[in-house]
Amino acid sequence: MCSPEHFAVEYAINPWMDVTASVDPELSVKQWDRLRETLVGLGHEVHLLAPEPGLPDMVYAANGAFTVDGTVYGARFKHPQRTAEAAVHRAFYESRGWRFIAPNETNEGEGDFAYLPEAHGGLVLAGYGFRTELPAHAEAQEALGRPVVSLHLVDPRFYHLDVALASIDDGNIAYYPGAFSAASQRVLAQLFPDAVVADDDDALSFGLNLVSDGANVVLNNEATRLAGRLKAAGYTPVPVELAELKKGGGSVKCCVAELRP
């Protein structure tokens, strides 16, 4: 995770960003810190990436890389405003001895990749259409040695996979069908017949931008119906408020890069 010490909406690179909307820096840090405390309270270890001035979106740490079994497939951001973030993430992993594979193709890390180790023997779900380019899916498959299923995002409000779909345990997902092409919807329905399906309101409140450890699901507090569906499916919803960070187009998952040693 990376503190929103320098977080601001200084440019608009997704439909949620409004440069005329004011951001409360103090409240941003307070809400982010509460998320960090929640994860620690659930028994997870949180590593911190030092924020850098001039990189206001660094708080969205999920976008910097994608890790599977100790191998890191690095990010290559689409927009120049975020390009410099990739090197900071690479330095973090290399300083800790992870095997790092630099990308040639445009991709935005866990923003567009999700890993399910027990789904069909180990599966990567990968989004494309707005940020990550389709050739990056083949590159990730070669880098990580895991089969990659490409999913076409068609609604610009769901510009990353992680605002439309999330793994809720090692073999199942929650998702919003309307974010995907008709063909991708059919693929998801076939692969995950027991998935938790979100409605429009919960998807648009960033409810699917969540982090789950297979039992506890940390999600945006506005996604009340999704929380109920997760509870009915046997999970424990843990709501958190991240209203300030939503102004940049992200919520819980965007703030968390999951490390898979």
What pLDDT does 121 receive?
Answer: 94
What pLDDT does 138 receive?
Answer: 98
- The CATH number of residue 160's host domain is 3.75.10.10
Instruction: State the Cα–Cα distance between residues 249 and 13, nearest whole angstrom.
Output: 9
Q: Is 19 in contact with 10 (CB distance < 8 Å)?
A: yes
Those residues with Cβ within 8 angstroms of residue 234's Cβ, 6 or more apart along the chain or in another chain: none
- Region 194-201: mean pLDDT is 98
CA angle 90, 91, 94 (to 5 degrees): 85
Q: Is 57 in contact with 17 (CB distance < 8 Å)?
A: no
Domain assignment present for residue 261? The answer is no
pLDDT tens per residue across span 225-243? 999 999 999 999 999 999 9
Q: Is 59 in contact with 3 (CB distance < 8 Å)?
A: yes
What pLDDT does 253 receive?
Answer: 98
Catalytic residues: 160, 254
pLDDT tens per residue across span 18-37? 999 999 999 999 999 999 99
Domain assignment present for residue 18? The answer is no
Domain assignment present for residue 183? The answer is yes
Domain assignment present for residue 260? The answer is no
Mean pLDDT, the chain, integer: 98
Domain assignment present for residue 204? The answer is yes
Domain assignment present for residue 10? The answer is no
Full residue range of the structural domain in which residue 39 is found: 25-255
pLDDT tens per residue across span 69-120? 999 999 999 999 999 999 999 999 999 999 999 999 999 999 999 999 999 9
Left, alpha or beta for 198 (phi > 0: left; psi -120 to 50: alpha)?
beta
Q: Is 140 in contact with 126 (CB distance < 8 Å)?
A: yes
Half-sphere exposure of 27 (CA within 13 A, CB side): 11
Total domains in the fold of the chain: 1
Secondary structure of the chain in the HEC alphabet? CECCCCCCCCCCCCCCCCCCCCCCHHHHHHHHHHHHHHHHHCCCCCCCECCCCCCCCCCCHHHHEEEECCEEEECECCCHHHCCHHHHHHHHHHHCCCEEECCCCCECHHHCEEEECCHHHCEEEEEECCCCCCHHHHHHHHHHCCCEEEEEECCCCCCCHHHCEEECCCCCEEECHHHECHHHHHHHHHHCCCCEECCHHHHHCCCCCCEECCCEEEEECCCHHHHHHHHHCCCEEEEECCHHHHCCCCCCHHHCCCCCC
Domain assignment present for residue 4? The answer is no
Which class for 62: exposed (0-12), middle (13-18), buried (19 or more C-beta within 10 A)? buried
What pLDDT does 208 receive?
Answer: 98
- Region 153-165: mean pLDDT is 98
Domain assignment present for residue 13? The answer is no
Q: Which pLDDT band, with edges at 50, 70 and 90, does 143 fall under?
A: very high
What pLDDT does 88 receive?
Answer: 98
Q: Which two tokens stand for residue 167?
A: 């793994």
The amino acid occupying position 239 is P
What pLDDT does 120 receive?
Answer: 94
